[in-house]
A and B are shown apart, each in its own frame.
Chain A
Amino acid sequence: MPTPTHIPLATLTLTSTDTSIDFANIPNTYRDLFVVCRMKNNGSGTVSRWQFNGDTGANYSRMLVSMSGVVEKMANANQNYFEPHYYSDFGNSWGGSLVVNILDYSATDKHKGVLFRNNQVATERGPLMMAGRWANTNAITSIKISINTGAFDVGSTFSLYGIVS
């Protein structure tokens, strides 16, 4: 029997608006984490912000490529969260999705690498690929996903999976 891979850990579909989603009590028994999100706002708010283990310090760096009407690129070091958006914001309709791989999340001897794939098709928006580094060697036990302003709308979904090594 093949070894199962993406083990479902938790999922949430909003039945009321919310300004943040928190995955907690993540066990250290998997190799990687995988998160899939479909988000829209309830009138305002255009980007999601990701933090691990309650860390609000300047420990998040990113490098990305995306597109508006031209190819866009961005690199930022020492930010207070991951923001996997640049010309890939979401709005108040179901226009995209976000797929996230968090590699070696349970390791305690390395910083954490994260790969984000944001998928938008609206005007001046497009696919985004972002590599991030969380400068912390602790295993990830919680993930907070918040919105920059306003709230995530009803129906937004957030699913977390553990990938077996």
Chain B
Amino acid sequence: MSGWKVIEQKDLLSDTTEIVFSSIPQTFTDLVVLVSGRANPNEANGGVVIQLGFNGSYSDISAKWLAGTGSSVALGTDTTIYVMTSSNDSTGSTFGNTTIYIPSYRSLTAKSTSVEGISENNGVVSRQLLGSGLWNPSTQAAITSLSLRKLDGILTGTSVTLYGIKDGSSGGVTVS
């Protein structure tokens, strides 16, 4: 039996500027990252984005995103893959939630990411983000580490879990 396998979980007991998952096993097919996060600075819109990095780098990235605030829509193109968290001045004890899906992380081709996230803020404003990303270095490599970075600070209580999913066959299902 397979399923989502926990590779590693990190719960912040103190503020930090970067969370790193290193030495990712090369035995799965896809990776999933679940983020329950809160970060600096204060933002009146209730949401702060942190960066996703690959193999120690935050470069060679293309990204597109759609976002909603509850009263308006925004979109953008960037060289950073954004991960949504709640801001430091969001309602107390609230953390934004983001899911990041990375298929075929061991392939020697560009790596695609699927990102959905929301900040949490009781009333006023919160943000929802739908993102696509591509890590496409000149020398392709399997993903061996993932990192999340916010130079203003990722706050205590943030929890990040890395899962691996393995493909395969069972149950008599055929594919052709």
Whether both chains belong to one complex is answered with yes
Q: How many residues of B contact A (CB 8 A)?
A: 42
- Residue pair B165, A6 in contact (C-beta under 8 Å): yes
At the interface, yes or no: B12 with Cβ under 8 Å from chain A? Answer: no
A162 to B134, CA, bound (A): 27
Given the contacts A96-B134, A121-B62, A27 and B172 also touching, CB distance less than 8 Å: yes
- Contacts A36-B30, A129-B130 hold; do A23 and B174 have CB atoms under 8 A apart? yes
B104 close to A25 (CB less than 8 A): no
A70 to B30, CA, bound (A): 31
Chain A interface size, under 10 / 10 to 19 / 20 to 34 / 35 or more? 35 or more
Cβ contact within 8 Å between A9 and B114: no
Q: Chain B contacts of A56 at CB under 8 A?
A: none
Contacts of B114 in A (CB 8 A): 97, 99, 117, 119, 127
Q: A155 CA to B109 CA in the complex, in Å?
A: 10
Chain B residues in the interface with A (C-beta under 8 A): 1-4, 29-30, 62-66, 73, 75, 77, 101, 103-104, 107, 109-110, 112-116, 130-134, 165-176
Residues of chain A at the chain B interface (Cβ within 8 Å)? 3-12, 21-27, 29, 36, 38, 65-67, 70-71, 93-97, 99, 117-121, 125-127, 129, 155, 157-162, 164
